[in-house]
Chains A and B, each alone.
Chain A
């Protein structure tokens, strides 16, 4: 890249996802996709697997996308984009090929295909829009759903309340394959977002953009606080902004201090049942991850000491 990195002021303003689509008010995903496609521009082909993105973008015979796109199934984003890219390459055509899949379509059912594309280093951009559950089918648990969260398949029952397992670290799964570029993005950090998409566009080979996209209907939140949630996710350690380029990891935004996760949880209906013990469990896990990201050179300790390094907040009283 030459010159200054792109910012939200200098980024292209032409919409490829035009108004009239069917996303919910306050949908983090539609904002993310719209801005990714603005930067990738009109010389782009999109693959959409089964997802919210697919169903809110088009229904025969109408479409809200100005760029060509194709759908075929749920679990094959990595494979279809590899095929599209190979087809264009064989014809000597230079077209940006992007697959936009959800967390279920990436972490769970699509894991084999995305791993295959990464291993072959196919010349594609894989965007994972992560709203932390199967939202298109009505909020079922995915490998991305955080600990404690309510979903329709991790209901708040008399015996068990919410998801008992932590979120899968998808970025580590991808970066373990030594891909040319992988980054996490937040819609609450627009300049960082824009710069990473611009960077990914210019790199050749397999590129992975993982975007956290708050979901008003699945998270049981007010549409007006989508950006606030995206921001708090980063401040509490529920999301971390970094990029890995040719094996080099770089934190692209570091919060001044770790905010207690309770500040994030209490705004969302999906966490409102969480017990003090469960919040404590999530907080501990977050502290460990926080240290792994922001204090990578520390002694590899466990539990309390880790927590002290990361976090100076009050003990939780429960929500």
Chain B
């Protein structure tokens, strides 16, 4: 193990190198570019035995990853925002054809009123594409989650692709201390890729062809089944990761000061670090607050959340994007999970378009959550809006 000071993007690049990805097609986009620049350095310096493919677009990058993965090699690509949107069509191919591609997505706001700062409205719409989705809190978790991702994706019981999401700039371009494992440590955790289906002239198969209504429904059912089956594997592989590397993340979710918590907040991404400090401050005042870090949007940790919020009197859900139905996407999923448990659930939208998230923002969220335990005045709050809205 080596201690390095790395940005989130560079932590991803180190992980991809350690995972011995074979073919890496990619197209540049801010704030992802540091990842593929670092990988290009590794390849051109001879430190990494991989083929880097300069794609002509993100659509082509994902198309190349699909083609390469279908020959039985390990692939990686990275994108953000508009790039992920351009890939949209191709995203749907990899899960159904069981190609366990791993991709980093640096979350950046998408669309008009455009900026290059953190927001989840690029990856959230893709949660129905069949890709697993992890959201990470810091550079260390970015590195570790990429390593876990290949194990999870390539497990014969899973065989699905995964996008590992990290926040623009707050993680992608901000450096911090990262423990970088040795190659041998990663090799002993991550075996060589054994593909399920490959293009092989000695054993001809077709991969992905027109399917009539007589068969397509079963294929979708299998995909959903596969996704549900991935959740226990994620928990298991995180445990095993802990045994190998001495640190783990709780699998699908992480609980923070939840054992006696009466008022809890669910967060994801780098905001979790700020929320932790808010929890500590409120705990010091004797307030019984706790935090649940959501690590995965797909598969969604229904069971884990139901378990974690037992005894909670009021629950809040942080969202860094809005589904334009009056709520954020994480809230919609969480309320679906806990509706039988009966506690009030409020949605807390903040940090949109990269707006700063501070400790007082999260203290304010806990105030509202505590208040909702007595009387639910509103279901959705926007925190940090300019002026009265």
Contacts and interface: CB of A to CB of B under 8 A. Distances in A.
A59 B22 CA distance: 32
- 8 tightest A-B contacts by CB? A83-B67, A87-B71, A116-B56, A83-B64, A79-B60, A79-B63, A76-B63, A87-B68
B67 A82 contact: yes
Given A73-B90, A86-B53, A80 B67 contact: yes
B201 interface: yes
A78 interface: yes
B217 to A, nearest CB: 12
A84 B71 contact: yes
Size category of the A interface is 35 or more
Interface in B27-77: 50-51, 53-57, 59-61, 63-73, 75
Contacts of A85: 67
A79 B67 contact: yes
Contact of B68 (A78, A84, A113, A120): A84
B260 interface: no
A258 interface: no
B84 to A, nearest CB: 16
A58 B206 contact: yes
B341 to A, nearest CB: 42
Quick one: which of A87, A89, A119 has the most chain B CB within 10 A? A87
Interface string B194-229: 000001110111111111100100000000000000
Given A59-B210, A68-B201, A87-B70, A76 B53 contact: no
Interface in A1-55: 42-45, 47, 54-55
Interface residues of B, number: 43
A80 B201 contact: no
A83 B72 contact: no
Nearest to B22: A90
Contacts of B65: 83
A42 B201 CA distance: 7
Contacts of A116: 55-57, 60
Contacts of B204: 65-68
B23 interface: yes
Contacts of A55: 210
23 contacts: A54-B209, A58-B206, A58-B210, A59-B212, A60-B209, A68-B206, A70-B199, A73-B63, A75-B59, A76-B63, A79-B25, A79-B56, A79-B59, A83-B53, A83-B63, A86-B25, A87-B69, A87-B71, A88-B71, A90-B51, A91-B73, A112-B60, A113-B63
A90 B247 CA distance: 33
Nearest to B56: A116
Interface of B: 22-23, 25, 50-51, 53-57, 59-61, 63-73, 75, 89-90, 93, 97, 199-201, 203-212, 215
A73 B209 contact: no
A312 to B, nearest CB: 46
Given A60-B211, A116-B60, 5 more contacts: A72-B63, A72-B66, A80-B66, A83-B63, A90-B73
A58 B209 contact: yes
A70 B67 contact: yes
Interface of A: 42-45, 47, 54-55, 58-61, 63, 65-73, 75-76, 78-91, 93, 95, 112-113, 115-116, 119-120
A71 B207 CA distance: 7
Contacts of B69: 83, 87
Contacts of A69: 199, 206-207
A60 to B, nearest CB: 4
B206 A120 contact: no
Contacts of A81: 67
A64 B210 CA distance: 13
A91 B72 contact: yes
B209 to A, nearest CB: 5
Contact of A78 (B60, B71, B90, B205): B60
A112 B51 contact: no
A63 B209 contact: yes
Nearest to A95: B201
Contacts of B89: 73
A153 to B, nearest CB: 22
Contacts of A79: 25, 55-56, 59-61, 63-64, 67
